[in-house]
Amino acid sequence: MSEDEILFEIRGHAGLVTLNRPKALNALTHGMVTALAEKLEEWREEDTVRCVVVRAAGEKAFCAGGDIRRIYDQGQAKDPAQVDFFADEYRLNVQIKRYPKPYVALVDGIVMGGGVGVSVHGSHRVGTERTMFAMPETGIGFFPDVGGTYFLPRMPHQTGMMAALSAARLKQADALWAGVLTQAVTSSDLEALTTALCEGAHPDEALAAFARTASDLGAGEAPLAARAATCADVFGKSSLEEVLAALEAVAGEGDDGEWASKQLAAIRSKSPTSVALAFAQLRKGADLDFEACMRLEYRIVSHILKGHDFYEGVRAVIVDKDNAPIWSPGQIAEVRSDEIERYFQLPDGGDLDV
């Protein structure tokens, strides 16, 4: 890791973290993950640090995920250290979830994958009008990890299941309504808010002066709120097959028809294995505590890195960029339930120690 990929400083009474890879949309490298974990542990014992504030350089992205190309290359080279990135990332997610001091993520721009993992588990998730949340993993033959097993099933009205299966994008108003964000602010207030947090005010007090409602920000009612009942009914079905059938039924009628058609088309464009896996993953995660969810994710990733679709998805989207992945199997109906259950079995190296 180059020293400037992630920056740390104690400013006033805050430990200030800056994700500093703007040209790479601040995607997390393994070095960034381990450096953040070490610094959080150090600041846990530092009396001067009353809260941790995480922000990112640039205006496009808070963090658009992990360094997936690096993981792909390691897989091609049969590097046994490949899974270590995920082990350390998942431990970091637990560390953030259980952190004893306020952890404030200033989410300005795109937040996906690994970026969700270093924000959504914090006590305060503050998003601007440029916030765009998504869990797009099924589109590269992966699965919604970094704690998605825990937080996605707990989003209201099955919106987390929708996000997991279709990679739906939530802007500020939807993310606030769904609980991905705890507060909304304007991007122009971020510097002043950061100063207030560093000057020693409790995050709740500092945010009270800057937080805005979606209406204040001109976003109006969250679009998802208007179809909450339909989303809950469709994505709350007991099987993936029933979800798809419900979407097909809604697609042909009423005000929700266009929304359902887009969801259906998006799901069918993803890896069939990943879609089926994500459905089963979230259903299991709804009944597990956070640590158990992270152990489950480690089991899944240990198996998925030995399969086909992840490498084919990364090839199509990131390496060759032809956006024409050839999934195996190619249809959701061809995915066997016993094959999906295999992803939840104990890997050769044992469970993640969290």
Residue pLDDT, tens place only, 177-229: 999 999 999 999 999 999 999 998 799 999 999 988 766 766 567 999 999 99
CATH of 6-342, one of 3.40.50.150, 3.20.20.70, 3.40.1790.10, 3.90.226.10: 3.90.226.10
pLDDT at 221: 78
pTM for this entry = 0.96
- Active-site residue flag, 66: yes
| Mean pLDDT, residues 83-90 taken together | 97
Residues 109-155 have pLDDT tens digits of 999 999 999 999 999 999 999 999 999 999 999 999 999 999 999 99
pLDDT at 215: 66
Mean pLDDT of the chain: 95
pLDDT at 255: 79
Non-local (6+) Cβ contacts of 72 within 8 A are 310, 311, 314, 315, 318, 319
- Active-site residue flag, 145: yes
Non-local (6+) Cβ contacts of 113 within 8 A are 64, 65, 66, 135, 136, 137, 145, 146
Is there a cis peptide before residue 100, judged by omega within 30 degrees of 0?
A: no
Choice among 5, 129, 145, 309 that is catalytic:
145
pLDDT at 107: 98
pLDDT at 214: 62
- Active-site residue flag, 109: no
Residue 61 has pLDDT above 70, yes or no: yes
What confidence category does residue 80 fall into, taking pLDDT thresholds of 50, 70 and 90?
confident
CA 77/CA 66 separation, integer angstroms: 19
Choice among 15, 66, 141, 313 that is catalytic:
66
CA 265/CA 198 separation, integer angstroms: 46
Tell me if residue 210 falls in helix, strand or coil. Answer: coil
Choice among 67, 108, 129, 137 that is catalytic:
137
Residues 9-50 have pLDDT tens digits of 999 999 999 999 999 999 999 999 999 999 999 999 999 999
Residues 242-266 have pLDDT tens digits of 999 999 999 977 778 999 999 999 9
- Active-site residue flag, 139: no
Note the Cα 284 to chain centre separation in Å: 18
**Sheet with 61-63, side-by-side order of all strands:** 61-63, 110-112, 132-134, 170-171
